[in-house]
Structure 1
């Protein structure tokens, strides 16, 4: 194959951009990966590492009994760099795949730095480059790039708000109150802070009335993503919303009382050493002083040391049904591909998958091949089908879930068994797809 005269530009060194760069390079295509950090940080990033995780350190469920697990299996089968580094950096988290976020980002950065066909350029790109390019600037796309894309597609972006959970030190947790355990006794990866009804009532009242941090002028129209609501927004929707959400006690028994708590706050390990824990589902935009006051009402966290408070930031994405082709290229300019959360998916692995798809689409275009038709039976194909065929008048970002897969054809009432059946069908369809398009899945050996 004749290599392109100039490297393909990939804008954004997050999960999607890093994955796209790797997938093209392993197929013999030179790329120039632009990342503005650390010269210019976003409101959420703290380092200059590629693929830095800014919200949770969990990539979600990792079994074939969940849609997220099916997507991970597909990415592993195709040879995802992000999944490889996540597996190498994982920390205990029950059935989920959680990583030591620093080790993970360094692993991705080192893998791309050592690749001879990847050139990492540390500068902000303020306009869309000429020639074939992949825009993977993520949910925190800079104002200049947002404006450049807006001019190109001729339509305004949609946006929602995403929030980050606080992190506490393990040594500041009161283990005389907190107990270890996963739901239904399946391991001891989580720390659990139990509440009785009176404690829950006081906590809910304090949370509901706590003062929030002010929003920037461009963030006044609060349109939250339902899958990642700030804890205070859930609280204001009703007294028991939290007990049926992130504070649900089902499957947990406090060994001190022998009973299921009225409510529970779970803490998940953030690093390999187990020195840091995040409050699961407690993404928030409360003022930092209010977070300290309210969250120290949680049993076991009265003396908690917060090493990171929750913050909220704007996430940007396009109205995919109106502006994207089925291969993630822009209708307004078909040599420019979008990748990651900006296309209208939500989640780390979903973003990674869209980076992989954009790279394979660009590679197919370089070979002069037709657009690959990802099977809808796969998790990747289901996501692509959703973002291309959802209602444009109310387009919302989507996680992978059973609802976007095609029906099985036969009813399976048990959700886990239904998911396993979907997984078998998905992986079979993926194998057939990869065999049919074998030329685009062959790795090129670089001498």
Structure 2
């Protein structure tokens, strides 16, 4: 670690989404923060490409922004109410994506980096922290690609092996290499963002013969070989490689990322047999992400197979798909309700390393960890958000409600929310009822917070 004489109140390790959010929440409340990030110190991860804070390494989508009928959209809303820097910068960097919130990943990271780097209460230090600090309030937000030395230190502190899963990255295509005489722009059912025109996605159609040949190509394509110690590492269901999905049945993709419903091929006026969708990846619209096409195919196999997709025959790839091993701790066993490590309560964990999955979920846990640390610094109690809110439901899953014997990464979803008691609600109205209750309970909780 670099020598540094600056005084700080909280040490945050990791400058990803959770660490950046935690630093912001503390700094704007007057807390001095040391934010340690190993990228930029000569150390890089297998997935990152820059040293920017809050770099997005997988999709550029924060998923649905619908706060009425979608749990992650509700989480967006709750974080906005709590002055989240991640949601602020996502708004500044957003690109068209229908009802989803997607961002230009470079602009997004630049906004976060500039805000945190110039904040008077934040000292961003480019260093690789190799051991858990023995004293001082600490938030570990190193994510699923924690440096090996620090991971070993965490393992020693917890006395347990970290769990692990594989996370995959989808390819990105240059827009000018897409044949728009074959592909067309349309959002499913013509549903666009509020300021959009219902044409937020590029669609590449397949007939039955093309689809079956593509499916077989996924089965036959040369895959990344795992090391012996990786053989039993599971995949995360929310980021499943497309060839693994395809292996579950010939029609699995047609009911998943390649479903054609609500998309009218202008050349036929009908739904295709299957569709490959691409989502805008940057503000300029020059890069497009292949939606749901996370893959462990080797690079040469990817190029050969993906150029059989109608409209992508001459595709040029800005990035090909990839696969990396992620680790996370068994949080329900190891952490208390305040995200503190039970064996070393001066240390909190936040973000994906706790076993939450998704950009927004990771940021949300960073936000909560910071507010918990702030209350501790002020010698004040911290009342956790109600379990009926998305913040509270996610926290409850991480810190005790999940089955510790089979703990797996989890996105926010209404299945984590407690049922509404006392009256039977029709299924079609259940999501709206959950969000209405969450809004009421979050408002009441926020009024109880100490400024």
TM-score category, normalised to shorter length? over 0.9
Match of 2:60 among 57, 67, 72: 57
- Residue 196 of structure 1 is matched in structure 2 by 207
Q: 1:418, CA displacement in angstroms?
A: 2.5
Distance in 1 between residues matched to 2:63 and 2:161, nearest whole Å: 31
**1:218 and 1:26, CA in 2 relative to 1: closer, same or farther beyond 3 A?**
farther
CA contact (8 A) 1:177 1:299 kept: yes
- Residue 100 of structure 2 is matched in structure 1 by 96
- Residue 241 of structure 1 is matched in structure 2 by 252
Post-superposition Cα deviations, 1:377-427, rounded to whole Å, max 9, x if no partner, equal: 100100111122111110011100111111123444454x43222112112
SS at match of 1:97: strand
- Residue 87 of structure 2 is matched in structure 1 by 83
Distance in 2 between residues matched to 1:218 and 1:93, nearest whole Å: 39
Distance in 1 between residues matched to 2:294 and 2:416, nearest whole Å: 26
Q: 1:217, CA displacement in angstroms?
A: 4.6
Unaligned 5+ segments in structure 1 are 443-447
Match of 1:136 among 127, 141, 153: 141
- Residue 287 of structure 1 is matched in structure 2 by 298
Alignment of 1:204-215 (within 5 A): 204-215=215-226
Alignment of 1:111-130 (within 5 A): 111-129=115-133, 130=135
CA contact (8 A) 2:18 2:141 kept: yes
- Residue 366 of structure 1 is matched in structure 2 by 377
Structure 1 residue 156 corresponds to structure 2 residue 161: yes
Q: 1:371, CA displacement in angstroms?
A: 3.5
Post-superposition Cα deviations, 1:222-271, rounded to whole Å, max 9, x if no partner, equal: 30011110001111111011111111111111121111111111000000
- Residue 327 of structure 1 is matched in structure 2 by 338
Q: 1:367, CA displacement in angstroms?
A: 1.6
Match of 1:26 among 25, 28, 41: 28
Post-superposition Cα deviations, 1:21-58, rounded to whole Å, max 9, x if no partner, equal: 01011111100000000221100000010000000000
Q: 1:339, CA displacement in angstroms?
A: 0.3
Distance in 2 between residues matched to 1:411 and 1:83, nearest whole Å: 35
Distance in 2 between residues matched to 1:171 and 1:411, nearest whole Å: 53
Distance in 1 between residues matched to 2:375 and 2:230, nearest whole Å: 39
Post-superposition Cα deviations, 1:157-216, rounded to whole Å, max 9, x if no partner, equal: 111110000000111001111011011122000000111111100000011111112234
Match of 1:428 among 420, 440, 444: 440
Normalised TM-score (structure 2):
0.94
Q: 1:5, CA displacement in angstroms?
A: 6.0
Distance in 1 between residues matched to 2:138 and 2:57, nearest whole Å: 25
Match of 1:306 among 304, 317, 322: 317
Distance in 2 between residues matched to 1:413 and 1:315, nearest whole Å: 39
- Residue 397 of structure 1 is matched in structure 2 by 409
Q: 1:292, CA displacement in angstroms?
A: 0.4
- Residue 171 of structure 2 is matched in structure 1 by 166
Distance in 2 between residues matched to 1:31 and 1:215, nearest whole Å: 39
**1:5 and 1:170, CA in 2 relative to 1: closer, same or farther beyond 3 A?**
closer
Distance in 2 between residues matched to 1:390 and 1:166, nearest whole Å: 33
Q: 1:435, CA displacement in angstroms?
A: 0.8
- Residue 72 of structure 1 is matched in structure 2 by 76
SS at match of 2:341: coil
SS at match of 2:167: strand
Distance in 2 between residues matched to 1:35 and 1:279, nearest whole Å: 30
CA contact (8 A) 1:90 1:99 kept: yes
Distance in 1 between residues matched to 2:270 and 2:427, nearest whole Å: 27
Distance in 1 between residues matched to 2:316 and 2:144, nearest whole Å: 29
- Residue 15 of structure 2 is matched in structure 1 by 13
Distance in 1 between residues matched to 2:207 and 2:172, nearest whole Å: 23
Unaligned 5+ segments in structure 2 are 1-5, 192-197
Normalised TM-score (structure 1):
0.95
Q: 1:373, CA displacement in angstroms?
A: 2.4
SS at match of 1:403: helix
Q: Answer with 77-86 or 423-432: which moved more.
A: 423-432
Give the aligned length: 435
- Residue 381 of structure 1 is matched in structure 2 by 392
RMSD: 1.3
Distance in 1 between residues matched to 2:284 and 2:436, nearest whole Å: 35
CA contact (8 A) 1:327 1:372 kept: no
Distance in 2 between residues matched to 1:222 and 1:242, nearest whole Å: 23
Distance in 1 between residues matched to 2:234 and 2:420, nearest whole Å: 34
CA contact (8 A) 2:260 2:274 kept: yes
SS at match of 1:199: helix
Distance in 1 between residues matched to 2:253 and 2:372, nearest whole Å: 42
Q: 1:314, CA displacement in angstroms?
A: 1.0
Q: 1:434, CA displacement in angstroms?
A: 1.0
Post-superposition Cα deviations, 1:124-155, rounded to whole Å, max 9, x if no partner, equal: 00001121100000011111111111100111
